[in-house]
A = this chain, B = another copy of it.
Amino acid sequence: MFKNEYSSKLLSGAVESLSTLPGVGRKSALRLALHLLEEPTINVEKFAKTIVDFRNNIKFCPQCNMLSDDGICPFCNDSKRDHTIVCVVESHSDVLSIENTGQYKGLYHVLGGIISPIDGVGPADLKIKELAERVASGLVSEVILALSTSMEGETTSYFISRQLKPYNVKLSTIARGVGFGDDLEYTDELTLGRSITNRQPFIF
């Protein structure tokens, strides 16, 4: 075999770079690289420029930490949204997932992670102090905790609830239960148990 499994250092470099992307193995990376080869040079340069521009120029909203092109984000800036409700999430993509439901018209607060001692993430690494300050301002009446149900998520929810205790704010958490279209047979016991405990009035 060759020293270089791809016959070209340039190809090998491109494959290596592309395979650093999450979910992209060496085979997919090779396919992506060969695809780029079929594109006009100008398109590949534009592709690279868009990504670098994004990385270099993206801002974080000073209020909620959501991605923004410039200063305050469009959510916090939208007077039609309910500014008294704040939904606390772990990541930027969680905001986009909730937005996609079209069911929520309040504001957000992106923690930027969850408390995880094993990964060296403590409360000070997250935007928890900023959340407490938002609540302390007195403009927020309800905080919805939409963190994961993992040990770390529960710990983070608990920690936040303690931090917000001094303030007169309603704390809630998103409903857990059997998903629409899910089979009871394949639902884990914790979820199914919780869905029975938290049963809702049947509307007919």
Name the one of B11, B91, B99 contacting A67, with C-beta atoms under 8 angstroms: B11
- Stretch of A32-40, A128-136, A173-181 on the interface side: A32-40
Contact B23 A28 (CB under 8 A): yes
Given contacts A11-B67, A58-B8, contact A44 B36 (CB under 8 A): no
Contact A74 B2 (CB under 8 A): yes
A31 proximal to B (CB < 8 A): yes
Contact B1 A74 (CB under 8 A): no
Name the one of B7, B13, B52 contacting A66, with C-beta atoms under 8 angstroms: B7
- Stretch of A14-22, A138-146, A153-161, A189-197 on the interface side: A14-22
Which B-chain residue is minimally distant from A28 (CB atoms)?
B23
Contacts of A93 in B (CB 8 A): 30-31, 34
Given contacts A47-B20, A69-B8, A75-B7, contact A54 B33 (CB under 8 A): yes
Contact B55 A51 (CB under 8 A): no
20 chain-A/chain-B pairs, Cβ below 8 angstroms: A4-B74, A5-B99, A7-B67, A7-B68, A7-B75, A7-B99, A8-B58, A10-B57, A10-B58, A10-B69, A13-B50, A16-B50, A21-B32, A23-B28, A36-B51, A36-B55, A37-B58, A44-B56, A45-B55, A45-B56
